[in-house]
Amino acid sequence: MHAMMLNKIGGPLVWTELPDREPGPGEIRVKVTACGVCRTDLHVVDGELPHPQVPIIPGHEIVGRIDAIGSDVGDLVPGQRVGIPWLGHTCGVCLFCAMQCENLCDRPIFTGYTRDGGFATATIVDARFAFPLGDEGSDESLAPLLCAGLIGWRALTIAGDSMNLGLYGFGAAAHILAQVAKWQGRSVFAFTRPGDHATQDFARSLGATWAGGSDELPPQTLDAAIIFATVGELVPLALKAVRKGGRVVCAGIHMSDIPGFPYSALWGERQLLSVANLTRQDGLDFLSQTPQMNIVTTTRRYALQHANEALADLRAGRFNGAAVLVP
Ligand SMILES: [Zn+2]
Ligand SMILES: [Zn+2]
């Protein structure tokens, strides 16, 4: 197999030939056909997450076909198409696992961060954390659903019953979630970098009721806002945009420091929450409904060997939607 390997934090990924591995008990080997590029991959490369480890193969929006099955694997079959998300393994016994909050597990393993991921021609995964994907949709179009879509879905659930929904940062996750929210009958208000008219047009083309700069107040008060951008300054701005009792959900794994703000911005039972990871149930709930949602993902395809270019383009905001690597 081949992979784009991170050998040094901050370093470029390096095209590397590796010996083929066989799946152990409970594991499957997946021949990767598409792997989305997520902002979290940049955090992994930059060493911005706790306990960075190298060498590692990044990538946690994996679509592929099962090509080998280890012992003790239940109902998966060779050739089946599966999706592999960020959550790669949980301990099953900690307080959080026992509370049905496996997203908060004390001893988790994360795909492309603490176990090798999908910037590769093949990967070995815990079979219990692979989602059967069915046959609808292309591999490339489905890949961004595995993190951008799923984390967005969890954030939307946590945002609660909100008719007017603000999305701060209109990248891969928001471009999917805007379509989900519209399908559910909500109104979407999209916030981009001030002056980024191209992304504002993109948001409107996906059904946003309004799109503007993050320094602007929307024309209507929001019931909830989800912040996908990694910019802490957005938290007080979003709190100012939501109504009394409204929620602001921070959906990123990493964010710059949140500046001080007056208590009055939180007063009125406004709630500030974060979303961490996903549960397998989130994945089952979301992926069972996506065929009806008619989500059209906007993707930019890169050859696997060009992963560094994809990461650089993501960092610079050079495309709308999601980058996808194809071996
Ligand atoms: Zn656990
Ligand atoms: Zn991700």
Give the model confidence (pLDDT) of 186-242 as tens digits.
999 999 999 999 999 999 999 999 999 999 999 999 999 999 999 999 999 999 999
- All residues with CB under 5 Å from ion ligand 1: 90-91, 94, 97, 105
What are phi and psi for residue 215, nearest 5 degrees? -85, 0
What pLDDT score was predicted for residue 94?
98
Ligand 1 centre distance from Cα of residue 324 (Å)? 31
Chain-centroid distance of CA 283 in Å reads: 12
Ligand 1 centroid–CA 281 distance in Å is: 15
Give 211 Cα–ligand 2 centroid separation in angstroms: 24
Which pLDDT score is estimated for 74? 86
Q: What is the pLDDT of residue 19?
A: 97
Distance CA 224, CA 280 (A): 25
Q: Is this model's pTM higher than 0.75 or not?
A: yes
3-state helix, strand, coil in the chain (%, to 5): 30, 30, 40
- Please tell me the predicted confidence (pLDDT) of residue 246: 98
- Write down the pLDDT at residue 52: 87
- Given CA atoms 208, 236, 158, 228 in this order, what sign does their dihedral have? positive
Q: Which CA distances in Å does 177 have to 117, 138, 149, 188, 286?
A: 24, 19, 7, 9, 11
Cα 110 to middle of ligand 1, angstroms: 13
The one-letter amino acid code at 264 reads S
Q: What's the CA-to-centroid distance between 36 and ligand 2, angstroms?
A: 9
Distances (CA, A) of 197 to 165, 178, 229: 20, 17, 17
Q: Which residues in the chain show pLDDT less than 70? A: none
Centre of ligand 1 from the C-alpha of residue 253, in Å = 19
Q: Looking at the CA of 61, which ligand is closest?
A: 2
- CA–chain centroid gap for 63, Å, is 14
User: What six digits make up the tokens of 103?
Assistant: 């997203």
Assign residue 179 a region (left: φ > 0; alpha: ψ between -120 and 50; beta: otherwise): alpha
CA of 94 to the centre of ligand 1 (A): 4
* pLDDT computed for residue 17 by the predictor: 98
* pLDDT score for 308: 98
Per-chain mean pLDDT for the chain: 97
